[in-house]
Amino acid sequence: MKRFTILMNYFDDSKMVIDVFKSLVGNRLEVKEDEKYLIFDYEFDNIDDINNLFLSLGAELMVNIIGYTSSYEDRLKEEKEVALELIESLTSGMYDIKSALLSLDEIKNKSRILELILESSGIDAEFIRSFSENNLNVSQASKNMFIHRNTMNYKIEKLYELSGFDLKSFIDAYILYTLAK
């Protein structure tokens, strides 16, 4: 899977970090480096291996690691723009879009982030607000929204398939509702 990882560049020797990461993902690695960020573009499936590598490396080098690893292969460019905005407000750790949004008290550009998540799902902010305000109850929400129950379930499933956000999960619904308000 095509991915990117962005790290705040607090390293004295970023070449060593790049070499260690290259040993995990192989030669399919493209790196953009500046004073503020290290941006890795690569192909790799297991996000946990990537995050654990950087967290271990940070502990070993005694460096505060702040990083973000992509979630969407088909929307890398859009997610990268969102990630660069989010990473500025994150505390130390490795994040994906869900964990980043959960950890932030203040989220800037909510509508743009919501667009990234909802893209091609057939769901809009009003759908999320209404579903959440009906206690995540499909029957109740479908009646109040004048949508057939099966249509509502289809849209919720499609959102999950495209974004990994499950509106029937309290945490995911909370994140989306926060963005939709």
Tens digits of residue pLDDT in 29-71? 999 999 999 999 999 989 999 999 999 999 999 999 999 999 9
Backbone angles phi, psi at 38, to 5 degrees: -115, 125
Tens digits of residue pLDDT in 134-151? 999 999 999 999 999 999
Average pLDDT of the chain? Answer: 94
3-state secondary structure of 145: helix
Q: At what angle do helices 110-118 and 149-163 cross, to 10 degrees?
A: 100
Q: How confident is the model at residue 113 (pLDDT cuts 50, 70, 90)?
A: very high
Q: How confident is the model at residue 82 (pLDDT cuts 50, 70, 90)?
A: very high
H/E run at residue 8: strand 2-8
Residue 14's CB is within 10 A of a number of other CB atoms, namely 14
pTM over 0.85: yes
